[in-house]
Amino acid sequence: QKEVEQNSGPLSVPEGAIASLNCTYSDRGSQSFFWYRQYSGKSPELIMFIYSNGDKEDGRFTAQLNKASQYVSLLIRDSQPSDSATYLCAVSRRGSTLGRLYFGRGTQLTVWP
């Protein structure tokens, strides 16, 4: 079983729609959860992080965490063509060396005008 799993996509949504990206993780001891955006040919950049169960909102982005279901998601409201990128879910495990992240394979999102 992989540590962190994401639907590889591609996910395609029209401009203005809500894009929903999902991630599951295998280790119940996981404590920190990150969403990175990676444009083609570029390096990953952090867009959201969440530590506690529930929702966390930042502008058009909402991260949702459900530790009981071992599930974390990212919602992008009012999707824009500039949101077209690969979104990487990353998880930090309790007890592991601080800072170590385990990445999923990423979900490719395309927002068409």
Cα separation, 37 vs 84, in Å, equals: 9
Contacts with 24 (C-beta within 8 Å, 6 or more apart), sequence order: 4, 5, 70, 71, 72
Classified as helix, coil or strand, 81 is helix
99 binds other proteins (CB under 8 A): yes
Q: Identify which range of 12-20, 56-64, 68-76, 88-96 contacts other proteins by CB under 8 A.
A: 88-96
Q: Which of 7, 32, 70, 110 binds other proteins (CB under 8 A)?
A: 32
Indicate the pairing of strand 11-14 with strand 107-112: parallel
Residue 46 found at the interface with other proteins (CB under 8 A): yes
CB of 46 to other proteins, least distance (A): 5
Instruction: Give the shortest CB-113-to-other proteins separation in angstroms.
Output: 25
Rounded to an integer, what distance in angstroms lies between the CA atom of residue 11 and that of residue 76? 12
The residues that touch other proteins, with contacts defined as CB under 8 A, are 4, 8, 32, 34, 42-46, 49, 88, 90, 92, 97-101, 103-106
